[in-house]
Amino acid sequence: MPHTHDHGHCIDTAMAAARRLCEERGARLTPVRRRVLELVWANHKPTGAYELLPQLAQDGFNSAPPTVYRALDFLLELGLIHRISSLNAFIGCDHPGSAHPTGFFICHKCGEATELPPDELSALAERLEALLGVRVEGETHELTGLCSNCRKAA
């Protein structure tokens, strides 16, 4: 997806969604939280918590780990970002607000992550509930491989 879209639009949409969600829930989108969200949205690649520290410092924010993790926890809680555990990294959510199962495809060539279609994940979860007799309450799906752009390039 590199350079194939107007990324400013992605950021704007994300920030607007964040403002709306916070308003709805009576939560405060403080400067640190807003900035962290912007930084996570700076591109479509998963971002590590410690990568954010120097960037926050540059903006004059406090930049000790707890500050970043608190902001990230807040954003996770509201569903504005997701955590990619296999990378210890975070990425913006494409459609925050609506509860949905999440998963990502991460290209090992360009590093970009794409959110997986929730429908497919729900379908899987339902099948598994039926097959295994379990109740699914949370799910993480992290696929890797070559994205369509990188496939074309190769």
Partner DNA sequence: CGTAGAATTGCTACATTATAACCTAAGGTG
Partner DNA sequence: CACCTTAGGTTATAATGTAGCAATTCTACG
Instruction: State the residues that interact with DNA by CB under 7 A.
Output: 27-28, 30-33, 48-50, 61-62, 64-67, 69-71, 73-74, 88
Interaction between residue 5 and a second copy (CB under 8 A): no
**Which residues are registered as beta bridge partners of 81?**
92
DSSP letter at 73 equals H
Contact pattern from residue 133 through residue 152 relative to a second copy, giving x for each residue in contact according to CB under 8 A and a dash for the rest: xxxxxxxxxxxxxxxx--x-
Partners of 15 in the β-ladder: none
Shortest distance, position 154 Cβ to a second copy, whole Å: 10
User: Which of DNA, a second copy, none sits in contact with 50, Cβ below 5 to 8 A by type?
Assistant: DNA
Closest CA to 117 of 94, 87, 97: 94
* Residue 127 neighbours by CB under 8 Å, 6+ apart: none
Minimum Å gap between C-beta 67 and DNA is 4
Give the count of residues interacting with a second copy (CB under 8 A). Answer: 34
| Nearest approach, Cβ of residue 68 and DNA (Å) | 7
Cβ proximity to DNA, 23 vs 119, nearer residue: 23
The Cα–Cα gap between 122 and 128 comes to 10
User: Which one of the spans 3-11, 40-48, 68-76, 121-129 is the region binding a second copy (CB under 8 A)?
Assistant: 121-129
Q: Which is nearer to DNA, 1 or 80 (CB)?
A: 80
Task: Tell me the C-alpha distance between 87 and 12, whole Å.
Answer: 26
Closest CA to 77 of 12, 119, 25: 25
Q: Are 146 and 108 in contact (CB under 8 A)?
A: yes
Q: Give the per-residue contact string, 63-82, with a second copy (x = CB under 8 A; - = no).
A: --------------------
